[in-house]
Homo-oligomer: A and B are copies of this chain.
Amino acid sequence: MLHFVNDYSEGCCKQILDRLIETNWQPESGYGFDSFTASARERIRAAIGNPSADVFFLVGGTQTNKVVIDSLLLPYEGVLAASSGHVALHEAGAIEHSGHKVLPIAQKEGKITAAAIEAYVKDFYADPTYPHMVHPGMVYISHPTEYGTLYTKAELAALSEVCRAHSLPLYLDGARLGYALATPESDVSLRDIAALTDAFYIGGTKVGALMGEAVVFVKGAPKGFFTRVKQNGALLAKGRLLGLQFDTLFTDDLYIRLGENGIRTARRLREIFRAHGYRFLIDSPTNQTFVILDNETVKRLSERVRFDYWEKYDEGHTVVRFCTSFATSMEAVEALDALI
């Protein structure tokens, strides 16, 4: 069986596993007051070029979005997000569970524009009944998006500008950030993200860690953030696990190198599909590939390959997602070529 179903099927990268073994019996303080976390925090500050940024380590993506968004909003404020955004659709209402409305913005291939944010805010305050409505309080974007697409530096800068003009914190969900940073076509660096957003998270779970996301507050964390994390049930007792993993990921550019493996294998995979005459739903440059297959091929392939059903295309065709990752071998991709 070949596995392209998602980017969190395996355990972790070799380097993290090695360090887990090596440090297992070293006693450390709990709750993130360990030496690994301190080191990871410094490495991330160095990587983003911002020595005063606040960095916290949480366990998972939905958890991170929930705690961060709730911390950045007042109770009557909502978060502007692409209608296809993870917070809008696939977090079981975690944002609403903390009292906030997700205010959907029309998207194209998972992306939203500065113009759409500008229009939303303008229309909102032009409506005399706005005090009776959820106020726009911040903007959420994902990079890569849920469709694997990327913002350009210019697009990000435009979003940043409109957000600052309206005092809306801009928050970037980087669940798959490693793949974005490793994409040759992308002109957006980690430092750009740190310069253009107010907060973002560097995803570990989908880029080679056992679990973990590093939240960065570029201009300082919301008041009492540690206690907010605890109150949300999101504080890991053995915070050392998160610190150690990010300390490893940010040593010798490992995070980028893991991303590169996902990108390299995805590019080859797309070449193969293209060579076989298949088309794509979206021209995604990152590690997710949305290919349109005839139903016969879907059925035949699924006996030998695990991939993800995405949506019906037409009566005879289906969109399926092939996902590569830090763990995908080029051999597996070539083996797929033989099966198509």
Instruction: Pick the residue among B135, B224, B228 that contacts A224 (CB under 8 A).
Output: B135
Contact A233 B66 (CB under 8 A): yes
Bound Cα distance A30, B309 (Å): 15
Q: Is A97 an interface residue (CB 8 A)?
A: yes
Given A66-B233, A211-B241, A90 and B27 contact (CB-CB distance below 8 Å):
no
Q: Is A237 an interface residue (CB 8 A)?
A: yes
Contact B90 A129 (CB under 8 A): yes
Interface size on A, residues (CB 8 A): 78
Instruction: Pick the residue among B29, B100, B132, B238 that contacts A91 (CB under 8 A).
Output: B132
Smallest beta-carbon distance A242→chain B, Å? 10
Contact with B along A2-17 (1 / 0, CB 8 A): 0101101111100001
A97 partner residues in chain B, CB cutoff 8 A = 75, 99, 231-232
> Closest chain B residue to A126 by CB distance?
B312
User: A residues bordering B, Cβ < 8 Å?
Assistant: 1, 3, 5-6, 8-12, 17, 20-21, 23-31, 59-67, 70, 74-78, 89-94, 96-97, 99-102, 128-129, 131-135, 205-206, 210-211, 223-224, 226-228, 230-238, 240-241, 306, 309, 327
